[in-house]
């Protein structure tokens, strides 16, 4: 009897009978995956449980604690939630999958929902998990899919499919519900065991599940009011323009001058930044330091520079500092658990020097501040500054909102700004645009332009960046006095022209191939806008180049 050798991700080799089904292999490994296997990749191709293996190769198994498995888990769980919610609330209920918020996904519902109804939805979901309902794949023509969604009055789906360039599309069926979902789904509902629901009164429901950082635990929900309100404000703005999803954005691009949506987006964002500047100026007797922080690729540098211009126009004289310039010498950088230098940790920053110099500046002393030479890995002292009566410090950095810096400065002297691209646009009502994916596309484009990094290198490093954000950025967002949304309604249409060619360079044998394909699927949904009309002072210029501040 012929056999094959299957190599697991950990290097372990196992011998199986030729033609063995994936389901049978997973059964032999179930002790190593107690939460269950959500999907599998064999020789870099996604395979199904009933697929048979005839050649030796490399097998990757993904559970809820992996980024690939977690995304598929999310899509399957949201589909299950929608099916169950419609059963409880009525088939005419409109549910819009909006955005991630505190270890879950916020789903907007067009009618008031009670706590009892939430409990009923949860119970229905648990019953359907026990039933192990299959997610059935259905291949159909695009025209037939469009006709179906027209018949059930799902104009959001009709628009999404209209701009799909394929002649055939994949629909999924769960119980009696058909849907167009971008990406893969689990084999059946039995894997979706870990979840909970939280009601946001008069708004909707947060569907919670473990992230890859939660060790399989569903964390207690914490409502971040400022964060939530910022997203709602932009959603209202988009609704006023009738641009709530990529299909409507594509319609706007076709029927109007594409430059109009660029200018509308920039005006909205600049207005919010001016409002922040006015708030600082009104309290200039108190505020001596403005601290700006946010996750990677949020546009912190451009935001701090633009805020400086607004403050200057209102009579203040801003001086800009970056916490990155206070890194310890490269040889003194602490090591992380993986044995590699941990540049994300606060311990990588010379906080003693930083705190000491800021204190001296606030007392009116002249201070020679460092500029970090990232090539040499050391600080250089070439810049001397001194604050006068009408001067204000603008400090940006990963750790700017951390309460463990500037502890010797009274709280009332510090104004804190949290910056993040809070995407309000959907692909359609069931397919959201991940804020993390938006930042990742920004970073791919910038890394390639400014550092010569391949998109594969950026994707490979992304997990370390995300780990740092989970530890050192997100826990401190509630310390901010204000949240600034750095996303732009049109930016995916511009990023598409830069990111798409880069992502196509990632081939099937690359470990980052599946992520690249997922991002390409997202970009397929939006029409391109040329970058020439993007203003030089736009945050987007920080990533695509041509910024006034470079």
pLDDT digits (tens, 9 = 90+) for 26-62: 988 888 888 899 999 888 888 888 889 999 999 999 9
Tokens 């998109």 locate to 455
Per-chain mean pLDDT for the chain: 92
More confidently predicted of 244 and 335: 244
pLDDT digits (tens, 9 = 90+) for 103-130: 899 999 999 999 999 999 999 999 999 9
User: For the range 362-366, what are the long-range contacts, defined as Cβ-Cβ under 8 Å and sequence gap of 24 or more?
Assistant: 362/288, 362/289, 362/387, 362/393, 362/409, 362/413, 364/388
Residue 116 lies in a domain: yes
Residues 319 and 407 in one domain: yes
Mean pLDDT of 268-297: 94
Task: Output the domain CATH number for residue 88.
Answer: 3.30.980.10
Residues 180 and 111 in one domain: yes
Task: Output the domain CATH number for residue 44.
Answer: 3.10.20.30
Instruction: Annotate 143-161 with b (16+ C-beta within 10 A) or e (fewer).
Output: eebbebbeeeebebbbbbb
Residue 153 lies in a domain: yes
Residues 207 and 236 in one domain: no
Residues 195 and 283 in one domain: no
Mention every residue, 6+ apart, whose C-beta is less than 8 A from residue 12.
none
Q: What percent of the chain has pLDDT over 90?
A: 68
DSSP 8-state assignment for residue 473 = T
Residue 71 lies in a domain: no
Residue 69 lies in a domain: no
Residues 299 and 361 in one domain: yes
Residues 391 and 523 in one domain: yes
Residues 393 and 522 in one domain: yes
Mean pLDDT of 331-344: 75
- pLDDT at residue number 193: 95
Residues 128 and 236 in one domain: no
pLDDT digits (tens, 9 = 90+) for 500-550: 999 999 998 898 998 999 999 999 999 999 999 999 999 999 999 999 998
Mean pLDDT of 389-394: 91
Mean pLDDT of 195-215: 93
- pLDDT at residue number 346: 86
Mean pLDDT of 357-380: 91
Mean pLDDT of 13-21: 90
C-alpha triplet 352, 357, 358: angle, nearest 5°: 105
Residues 19 and 114 in one domain: no
Mean pLDDT of 238-263: 91
Banded pLDDT at 1 (limits 50, 70, 90): low
pLDDT digits (tens, 9 = 90+) for 426-476: 999 999 999 999 999 999 999 999 989 999 999 999 988 888 888 889 889
Query: Last residue of a domain, which of 224, 258, 276?
Result: 224
- Rounded CA separation 64/38 (Å): 7
Banded pLDDT at 82 (limits 50, 70, 90): very high
What predicted TM-score, i.e. pTM, was given to this entire model? 0.91
Residues 334 and 413 in one domain: yes
Number of domains in the chain: 3
Residue 246 has pLDDT above 90, yes or no: yes
Mention every residue, 6+ apart, whose C-beta is less than 8 A from residue 121.
81, 84, 85, 88, 89, 197, 205
Range of the domain at 47: 3-63
Q: What percent of the chain has pLDDT over 70?
A: 100
Q: What are phi and psi of 230, to 5 degrees?
A: -65, -45
């Amino acid at each position: 009897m012929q056999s094959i050798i299957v190599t697991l991700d950990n290097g372990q080799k196992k011998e199986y009978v030729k033609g063995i089904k994936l389901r049978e292999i997973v059964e032999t490994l179930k002790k190593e995956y107690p939460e269950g296997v959500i999907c599998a990749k064999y020789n870099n191709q996604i395979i199904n449980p009933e697929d048979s293996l005839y050649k030796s190769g490399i097998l990757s198994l993904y559970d809820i604690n992996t980024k690939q498995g977690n995304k598929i888990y999310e899509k399957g769980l949201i589909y299950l939630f929608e099916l169950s919610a419609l059963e409880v609330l009525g088939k005419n209920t409109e549910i819009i999958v909006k955005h991630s918020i505190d270890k879950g996904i916020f789903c907007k519902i067009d009618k008031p929902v009670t706590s009892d109804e939430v409990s009923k939805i949860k119970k229905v979901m648990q019953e359907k998990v026990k039933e192990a309902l299959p997610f059935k794949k259905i291949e159909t023509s695009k025209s037939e899919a469009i006709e179906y969604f027209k018949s059930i009055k799902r104009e959001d789906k009709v628009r999404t499919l209209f701009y799909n360039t394929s002649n055939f599309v994949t629909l999924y069926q769960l119980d009696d519900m058909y849907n167009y979902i971008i990406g893969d789904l689990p084999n059946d509902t039995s894997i979706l065991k870990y979840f909970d629901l939280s009601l946001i009164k008069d708004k909707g429901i947060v569907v919670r599940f473990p992230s890859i950082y939660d060790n399989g635990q569903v964390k207690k929900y914490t409502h971040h009011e400022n964060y939530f309100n910022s997203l709602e404000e932009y959603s209202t703005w988009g609704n006023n323009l009738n641009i709530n999803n990529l299909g409507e954005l594509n319609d706007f691009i076709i029927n109007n001058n594409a430059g109009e949506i660029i200018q509308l987006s920039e005006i909205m964002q600049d207005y919010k930044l001016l409002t922040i500047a006015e708030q600082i100026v009104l309290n200039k007797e108190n505020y001596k330091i403005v601290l700006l922080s946010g996750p990677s690729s949020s546009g912190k540098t451009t935001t701090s520079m633009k805020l400086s211009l607004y403050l200057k126009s209102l009579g203040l004289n801003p001086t800009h500092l970056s916490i990155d310039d206070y890194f310890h010498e490269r040889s003194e950088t602490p090591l992380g658990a993986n044995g590699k230098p941990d540049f994300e940790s606060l311990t990588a920053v010379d906080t003693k020097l930083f705190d000491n110099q800021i204190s001296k500046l606030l007392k009116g002393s002249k201070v020679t501040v460092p500029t970090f030479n990232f090539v040499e890995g050391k600080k250089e002292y070439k810049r001397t500054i001194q604050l006068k009566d009408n001067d204000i410090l603008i400090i940006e950095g990963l750790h700017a909102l951390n309460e463990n810096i500037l502890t010797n400065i009274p709280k009332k002297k510090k104004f804190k700004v949290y910056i993040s691209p809070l995407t309000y646009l959907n692909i359609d009502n069931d397919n959201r645009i991940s804020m993390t994916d938006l930042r990742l596309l920004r970073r791919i484009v910038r890394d390639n332009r400014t550092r010569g990094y391949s998109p594969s290198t950026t994707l490979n490093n992304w997990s370390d960046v995300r780990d740092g954000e989970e530890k050192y950025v997100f826990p401190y967002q509630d310390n901010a006095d204000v949240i600034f949304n750095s996303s732009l309604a049109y930016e995916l249409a511009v990023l598409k022209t830069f990111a798409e060619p880069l992502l196509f360079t990632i081939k099937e044998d690359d470990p980052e191939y599946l992520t690249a394909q997922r991002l390409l699927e997202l970009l397929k949904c939006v029409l391109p806008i040329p970058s020439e009309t993007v203003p030089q002072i736009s945050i987007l210029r920080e990533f695509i180049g041509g910024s006034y501040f470079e």
